Structure 1
Amino acid sequence: MGARPDITAWRPDVEGIDEVFHARFADHAYPMHTHDAWTLLIVDEGTVRYDLDRHEHGAPSSVVTLLPPHVPHNGGAATPGGFRKRVLYLSTTQIDADLVGRAVDRPVLRDPRLRHRVDQLHRTLERPGDELEAQSRLALVSEHLARHLRDETAAPRVPDRRVAFALRDLLDERFIEGLTLREAAERLHSHHTHLVRAFSREFGMAPHQYLTGRRVDLARRLLLGGMRAPEVAASAGFYDQSHFSRHFRRVVGTSPGHYARAGSEAVRRSSAPRTNAA
C-alpha cells in the first residue's frame, strides 16, 4: 500500500478560479484524464513528468505549467521521493479558447517572474478576506499566460490617469464593504486588468493595498476612540479578527491591542494633573 497523500483542496471566493489544489504525493501516478478548466501548475519539490497530446514533458520546480482544458494528460513523479505541487484550476473565461492549440504545443513557461506571481497568488488565496488582492493577482497572471501563448511581448504602457482616479474614488466610496474587480470594471467600463495596471502606475500601489490602507486608517481612529478590537475589525471592513490583526500589524508595525493600550496610556498621561517644581 502506498503512502497516504497530503492533500488540501478548496474553492475560493474568487471569480475565475474553480479550485485550488495543493498535494504531496510519494508514489501516485495519474492515469490519462482531462479537466474542463485550464490547469495552472507549479511544483515545489521533485519533478513531474506527463504526456500531453502524445508528447512527453517535464515540470521541475523552476517552471510554470499550463495545461489546456479537454486535452488528455497523465502525470507522475520523475524523481525519487515523489513531488509536492500547487495547482489552480482556472475557469475557461480566463484564457481564450482559441489558445488551446498553442497551450498543447508549449505548456511549459520558463519565466521566474511569472513563477513568483503564481506563488504569491497561492499565498493570497490561503488568507480569507484578501479576495480583492487575489483578483488583482489573478488578472495579471492570466494576462501574462495569454501573452505567452500568443508570443506577445509585454503590453504597452498606455497612461490612463482618468480610470486610475475613478477607481480610487470608487474604492473610497466602498472601502468598508469592499467590491470585486469585476464590479469595478463594470462600473468604470474598463477591463479589470487595465484597472489594476493603471491604478498601480498612477499611485505606486495596487488597488488592494490602497483599500487595506483605508481600512487600517479607520481602524486606528476607532481604536483611539475606545472601540474594542473585535468590533473594530467588523466596523472597518475586515473579514475577521485574524484578518484585521495581520494587516494592522503589517501597516502600523504593532498589534491593534498594543496600539489601543498605547493610545489610552497617552490620554492618561496628558490628563494627569501637573505639579509645579519647587
Structure 2
Amino acid sequence: MDYIIEHFQDGADFSHLINHGPPVELHVHNYYEIYLFMDGNVQFFIDNQSLILKPGDLILIRNDQIHGPKPLGKSMYERYIIHLPRKLIIELSSKKTNLLVCFDPEKKHSLIHLTSPAREKLISLFDQLTAIYKSLDYGEDVLTNSLLTQILVLINQQFFHAPKIVPTNHFSDIIQKMLNYIQENITLDISLTSLEEQFGLSGFHLNRLFKKEVGSTIYQYILLSRISLAKQLLETHSNVTEVCFLSGFNDYANFIRTFKKITGLAPKQYAKQIYEQNKLDR
C-alpha cells in the first residue's frame, strides 16, 4: 500500500500514508492537524525546533503553526494524518468538553509520546474510520463524527495526563539562534544585511545553511512567520490595517496579496470566518 486519502464531510480528511514521502516545504494551513507517526526516519519542524520522530509520536498542529516533515534517506515511512476545520471541532465539542484544548496555543510543546495502550486504541479508531468510509452504509456521516469525537477525546485525555516531555532539538546552534532571532524580531525589518551583522556571516552562507537545515529560504520563513502572527492577531483584531503592521508587513497591498496566496482567503474573509466560528463556541 502506498497511501489512502479519504475526504469526509465538512472539509475534514483522513490519510494513512506509507511511502517514500517527498520533501514537504514548511507551510501553515487553515485547518487543525493530527499527525501520528508510525514508522520510518523523519525529521519534523514544529515549534521552531527540528524533532526526530519515534513510532507512536503524536503531533498536534494548530491552524497558525509553521510545520513540515523532512524524510531522512529514501526509506518508506508511515503516518496517519487527520485534517479538521476549527468549525467541526467546535461542533463536536460540548459546553462541558472543549475538544480544542489539546491545540491550546499556550501549550509548551506540540509533541506527545503516546502510551502503548493509547496508541493501539487510536490506531483502532483510525482503522474504523477507513472501514466506515469504504462501506458508504446508512449513517456513515453520523458514525464518522462519532469516531472523530472519540479520537479527539482520547487525544485530549493524553494531552492532560501524558508525561510532559522536552523534545530534543536537532538544529545546529547557529540555525536555532537565527530562528529565535527572527521570531523575536518578526515585527521589525529583517534583511539579509541585518542577519549578516547579527551573525557575522555572509547572507549567501546564512541562506545556504538555513535552506539545508530548515528546508526553506530565510525570506520564505519570514513570510510564513508573519502570516502565522497575522492569523493569530485576526482572531482578536478586526482592523486589517492594524494587523498588517503589527505582523511586520510595511506594505498593505503586499500583506493582502501574501496572506491570500498562503491561506487562500483575504484577511477580512479569514477574520469573518473566525468570528462566525467563535460564535458557535459560546
TM-score, normalised via structure 2 length:
0.44
Compare CA radii of gyration and give the structure with the larger one.
1
Structure with the bigger RCO (C-alpha within 8 Å, sep 6+) is: 2
